[in-house]
Amino acid sequence: EVQLVESGGGLVQPGGSLRLSCAASGFTFSSYEMNWVRQAPGKGLEWVSYISSSGSTIYYADSVKGRFTISRDNAKNSLYLQMNSLRAEDTAVYYCAREYALYYYYMDVWGKGTTVTVSS
């Protein structure tokens, strides 16, 4: 079964750090681009970051640039999001999503999400 499982969420104080993980199974992880998408409570979806299959190309939303770092370990079938200098507005459910990118692009597999709460 194709699956993504996020972990690492929790309660953190403003200015703190957190590292999210996403474990992939059921497909050849190293062949796929990956993304992080978040959803603040009661709000819509916000794309956060992208990493290419090799890890050589990375993009960030302006809202997290300079504070978040995406990475991957293809040997461990894992995706990561290092989040530093966290703010209240970073409070959200964070999803990892597999990106299909051949002739067209779409996010076809999503994890169930992990909740990050930034509060004192």
Residue ranges that bind another protein, judged by CB under 8 A = 35, 37, 44-47, 50, 59, 61-62, 95, 97, 100, 103-108, 110-113
Q: How far apart are CA 118 and CA 111, in angstroms?
A: 21
Q: How far is the CB of 99 from another protein (least distance, A)?
A: 8
Provide the minimum distance between the beta carbon of 120 and another protein in the complex, in angstroms, as a whole number.
Answer: 26
Separation CA 74–CA 81 (nearest Å): 14
Strands laid side by side in the 18-25 sheet: 3-7, 18-25, 78-83, 68-73
- Beta carbon nearer to another protein, 104 or 120: 104
